[in-house]
């Protein structure tokens, strides 16, 4: 047997290597505006997923607020969805978002008969101090409607960041090029935009743009819905819709690991509602052995919460959106979910939205006649007739707010006091009536 | 500016030797050449008579300007009066610090971004890489236009070659996603070739059967390579009329041809 014969049978390349017909590249690669990619992503692309490492580098660095995009899927909505609808989604157009937000706030204030919102009053301490404190400032949080309250949370954060600095960096995930996607920290990011936009050196305000253009950020290698969830549950509670979103996102993540695919967020939002995207999980069970992981992720103690989340995911789109915007309680939403047909549930949800929008009208300079006895305020008879609604968590919240403003009551002007007294009498009457009915039964 | 990289995931196949001789050969012919040593061994650096000074690490991690890290190579090491250096040759040196570049930077486009600054200043950038796959490789695959694969005509070198081709293919998708052209296979250089060895001949035939015109002329195993290396010179200078120099000029010809200049 000659050696040549032996060698001829050996294919040093192995059998299954495809033929190489490489393209003729040029140097466009270096002249193009090259986007960005992380080292370990590149490594995983080159040598396969096995070499992928979870990010160990935890370097905080400043990232331009204009290269950061919010995560549309984030269960917690810092910006009401009908405000967000006015924004292109590009950070450079963020002013549109704030303008729309202020417009909504002013519309809300108009409905409640309150004066227009002035950013100077809340944001710029120097200018606030220069003015006389009126009760408007004292209890601005208490009387604010839901849209305004969300905005004030951002403003308060901005004030605290300006005073004490940012305690927690935001976490970002590289989205390509110089663009990043927010994993956590949407409010902090918005607060930086507020500071950047407001302290621009105009009208005697300090010029601090350099300070607020870059936000301290932690760049994470891999976007994790679980990390996002743990921050969501560690901070203030998600509202019921937020929790349903969180449930759906985490379940999607679990299912995707076992090969399921879901249609992308962008393709599934319609008419301002994103419900359909999250509702994609409705046909799936929680993978076995994962329910504890999931209940920890959404911050509930019992898996019964899952089926409640599923019920909410099946709400009509509009009820879903209203429920998120005015943070309806889970009980309230479950009640709406039971109402047939859907149009009736939508009608009720709209009514609830109206109640919330018009309830803070104590200081209304001239209570309009239109809002007379027919108005669906807390103290209105028609509201009482749907007795259950009066005592829902939603109204417990309102009652709590009334209690909270009691400190401000002594300072209120006589007309307000008169109105309050009237309202309390009315409520007392309602309660007496109800009590007597209960006695009869 | 053209960029190309010497890659084979098998050590000792002549990547560094081919890299420095191609870089120096192009410099002699009038190109402005930067040789970036991306191997923590720093052997391209040392072979060109330089110290393992701060180089690639400083460029990428500390953001040092190119003036600080580009070291000119003394033409007396590679050019001669009969073949003077008409261009320039610079080295971005490497040392053991190179191995920690990937844990200090997170941006895979760092290499591409930095070297793009040289766009108008140099004609050719040559990357010499380590045989062991490292995190830095991903960055280099994103920074290079073309690859030259040196390989011995032996089984393990072919294995390294095949691995390297596979990884190039894997990277193409990522490059495409980021709007980059495919990496061009410039050529395959059979190195340390011994015509008298049957297995080399057989394997060279297999290489040619598979890759056809991509296989460039063989660079033969010759004593003069070791001698030149010992005195710290390149074969163009040490033995301009030797077979080794002739082999290398044939390779430089192919590089020039492939660069389209």
ipTM of the complex: 0.74
A347 vs A343: CA distance, rounded Å: 6
Residue B179: exposed, middle, or buried by beta-carbon count in 10 A (0-12, 13-18, 19+)? middle
Residue B60 to residue B113: CA distance in whole angstroms = 10
Please, what are the domains in chain B?
A: 2-251 (3.40.50.300)
Over residues B165-174, the mean pLDDT reads 89
Other Cβ atoms closer than 10 A to B64: 16
Backbone angles phi, psi at A207, to 5 degrees: -95, 110
C-beta of residue B136 within 8 angstroms of C-beta of residue B7? no
pLDDT attached to residue A364: 37
CA A65 to chain centre: 18
For residue B123, pLDDT beyond 90: yes
Q: Are the C-beta atoms of residues A240 and A333 closer than 8 Å to each other?
A: yes
Contact at CB, B170 and A47, closer than 8 angstroms: yes
What number is the average pLDDT over the span B152-158? 93
Which range has the worst mean pLDDT, A45-49, A298-302, B68-72, B115-119?
A45-49
Question: Which residues of A fall within a CB distance of 8 Å from B120?
Answer: none
> Which of chain A's residues have a Cβ under 8 Å away from the Cβ of B182?
22-23, 25
* Contact assignment for B105 to A39 by CB distance below 8 Å: yes
pLDDT at A164: 81
Out of B106, B141, B159, closest to residue A46 by CB: B141
Q: Give the model's pLDDT for residue B150.
A: 96
3-state secondary structure of A224: coil
Q: Is residue B96 scored above 60 in pLDDT?
A: yes
According to the model, what pLDDT value does residue B5 have? 97
Do residues B2 and B146 make contact, with C-beta atoms less than 8 angstroms apart? yes
CA dist A344 and A295 (Å) reads: 32
Under DSSP, the state recorded for A216 is E
| Chain B residues within an 8 Å CB radius of A45 | 138, 170-171, 173-174
Q: Tell if the CB–CB gap between B179 and A35 is shorter than 8 Å.
A: yes
Q: How many CA atoms lie within 13 A of B24 on its CB side?
A: 29
DSSP reduced 3-state for A163: helix
Which pLDDT value is given to residue A383? 41
Q: Do A47 and B3 touch (CB under 8 A)?
A: no
Compute the distance between CA of residue A137 and CA of residue A358 in angstroms, rounded to an integer. Answer: 19
Signed CA dihedral, A262, A246, A347, A351: sign only: negative
Number of residues in chain A: 441
Mean pLDDT of B13-23: 96
Interface touch A46/B155, C-beta < 8 Å: no
Please indicate whether, in this complex, the C-beta atoms of B178 and A57 are within 8 angstroms of each other. no
Average pLDDT, chain B: 93
Name B167's Cβ contacts closer than 8 Å, sequence gap at least 6: A46, A47, B9, B133, B137, B141
Find, in chain A, the residue whose alpha carbon is nearest to that of B197.
A4
DSSP strand pairing (A214-220 vs A60-64)? antiparallel
Residues of chain A with pLDDT under 70: 1-35, 48-58, 125-143, 233-237, 357-412, 440-441
Q: What is the mean pLDDT of residues B181-187?
A: 94
This prediction has a pTM of 0.45
Among chain A, residues having any CB pair with chain B shorter than 8 Å are 3-4, 7-8, 10-14, 17, 19-20, 22-32, 34-43, 45-48, 51, 55, 57, 59, 176, 219, 221
Nearest to B34 by CA among B12, B55, B61, B64: B55
Distance CA B39, CA B92 (A): 11
Ordered alpha helix ranges (H), chain B: 15-28, 43-47, 56-60, 66-69, 101-104, 110-116, 135-143, 155-177, 198-211, 223-230, 235-238, 243-259
Given an 8 Å threshold on Cβ–Cβ distance, is B202 in contact with A4?
yes
Read off the pLDDT of residues A394-423 as tens digits, 9 standing for 90 and up: 566 666 666 666 656 666 677 777 877 888
Is A46 close to B184, i.e. CB distance below 8 A? no
Tell me the count of A-B CB pairs closer than 8 A: 148
Q: What is residue B222's predicted lDDT score, i.e. its pLDDT?
A: 95
Under an 8 A CB cutoff, do B141 and A47 touch?
Answer: no
3-state SS, residue A11: coil
pLDDT value, residue A14: 53
Closest partner residue to B180 (CB to CB) among A12, A32, A59 is A32
A contacts of B1 (beta carbons < 8 Å):
27, 30
Distance separating alpha carbons of residues B154 and B148, to the nearest angstrom: 17
Q: Pick the residue of A10, A37, A61 with the most B CBs within 10 A to test the interface with B by mutation.
A: A37
What is the least distance, in Å, from the CA of B163 to any CA of chain A? 10
CB B150 within 8 A of CB B6: yes
What separation in angstroms does the CA of A383 have from each of A241, A328, A374, A379? Answer: 24, 16, 9, 7
Between B188 and A24, the more confident residue is B188
Number of residues that this document lists for chain B: 261
- Which of B1, B146, B199 is the closest to A7 by Cβ? B199
């Amino acid at each position: 047997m000659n050696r040549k014969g032996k060698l001829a049978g050996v294919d040093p390349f192995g059998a299954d290597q495809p033929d190489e017909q490489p393209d003729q590249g040029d140097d466009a690669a270096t002249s193009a505006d090259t986007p960005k990619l992380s080292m370990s992503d590149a490594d995983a692309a080159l040598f396969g997923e096995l070499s992928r490492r979870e990010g160990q580098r935890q370097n905080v660095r400043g990232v331009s607020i204009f290269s950061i995009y919010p995560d549309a899927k984030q269960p917690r909505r810092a910006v009401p969805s009908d405000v967000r609808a006015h924004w292109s989604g590009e950070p450079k157009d963020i002013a549109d978002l704030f303008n729309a937000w202020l417009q909504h706030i002013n519309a809300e204030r108009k409905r409640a008969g309150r004066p227009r919102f002035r950013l100077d009053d809340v944001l710029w301490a120097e200018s606030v101090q220069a003015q006389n404190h009126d009760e408007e400032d004292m209890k601005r949080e208490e009387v604010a409607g839901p849209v305004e309250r969300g905005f004030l949370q951002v403003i308060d954060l901005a004030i605290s960041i300006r005073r004490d600095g940012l305690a927690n960096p935001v976490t970002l995930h590289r989205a390509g090029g110089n663009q990043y996607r927010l994993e956590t920290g949407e409010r902090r990011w918005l607060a930086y935009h507020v500071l950047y936009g407001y302290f621009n050196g105009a009208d005697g305000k300090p010029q601090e743009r350099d300070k607020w253009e870059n936000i301290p950020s932690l760049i994470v290698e891999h976007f994790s819905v679980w990390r996002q969830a743990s921050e969501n549950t560690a901070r203030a509670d998600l509202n019921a819709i937020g929790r349903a979103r969180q449930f759906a996102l985490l379940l999607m993540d679990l299912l995707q690991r076992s090969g399921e695919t879901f249609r992308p967020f962008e393709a599934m939002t319609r008419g301002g509602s994103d419900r359909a995207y999250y509702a994609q999980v409705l046909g799936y069970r929680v993978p076995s052995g994962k329910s504890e992981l999931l209940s920890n992720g959404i911050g509930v103690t019992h898996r019964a919460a899952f089926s409640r989340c599923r019920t909410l995911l099946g709400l009509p789109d509009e009820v879903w959106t209203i429920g998120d915007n005015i943070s309806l309680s889970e009980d309230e939403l479950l009640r709406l979910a039971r109402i047939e047909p859907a149009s009736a549930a939508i009608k009720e949800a709209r009514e609830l939205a109206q109640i919330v929008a018009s309830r803070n009208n104590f200081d209304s300079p001239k209570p309009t006649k239109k809002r007379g006895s027919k108005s669906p305020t807390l103290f209105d008879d028609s509201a009482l007739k749907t007795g259950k609604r009066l005592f829902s968590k939603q109204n417990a919240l309102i009652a709590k707010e009334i209690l909270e403003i009691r400190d401000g009551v002594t300072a209120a002007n006589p007309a307000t006091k008169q109105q309050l007294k009237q309202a309390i009498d009315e409520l007392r009457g309602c309660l007496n009536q109800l009590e007597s009915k209960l006695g009869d039964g | 500016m053209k960029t190309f990289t010497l890659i084979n995931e098998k050590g000792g196949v002549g990547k560094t030797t081919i890299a420095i001789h191609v870089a120096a050969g192009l410099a002699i012919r009038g190109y402005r050449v930067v040789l970036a040593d991306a191997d923590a061994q720093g052997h391209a650096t040392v072979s060109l008579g330089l110290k393992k000074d701060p180089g690639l690490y400083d460029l990428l991690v500390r953001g040092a300007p190119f003036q600080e890290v580009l070291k000119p190579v003394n033409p007396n090491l590679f050019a001669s009066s009969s073949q003077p250096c008409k261009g320039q040759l610079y080295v971005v040196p490497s040392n053991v610090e190179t191995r920690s570049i990937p844990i200090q930077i997170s941006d895979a486009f760092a290499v591409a971004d930095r070297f793009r600054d040289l766009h108008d200043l140099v004609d050719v950038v040559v990357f010499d890489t380590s045989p062991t796959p490292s995190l830095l490789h991903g960055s280099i695959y994103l920074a290079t236009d073309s690859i030259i694969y040196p390989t011995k005509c032996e089984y393990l070198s072919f294995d390294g070659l095949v691995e390297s081709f596979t990884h190039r293919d894997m990277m193409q998708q990522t490059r495409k996603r980021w709007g980059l052209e495919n990496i061009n296979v410039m050529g395959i250089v059979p190195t340390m070739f011994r015509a008298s060895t049957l297995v080399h001949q057989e394997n060279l035939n297999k290489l040619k059967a598979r890759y056809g015109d991509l296989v460039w002329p063989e660079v033969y195993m010759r004593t003069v390579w070791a001698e030149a290396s010992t005195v710290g010179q390149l074969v163009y200078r040490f033995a301009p009329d030797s077979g080794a120099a002739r082999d290398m000029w044939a390779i430089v010809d192919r590089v020039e041809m492939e660069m389209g200049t």
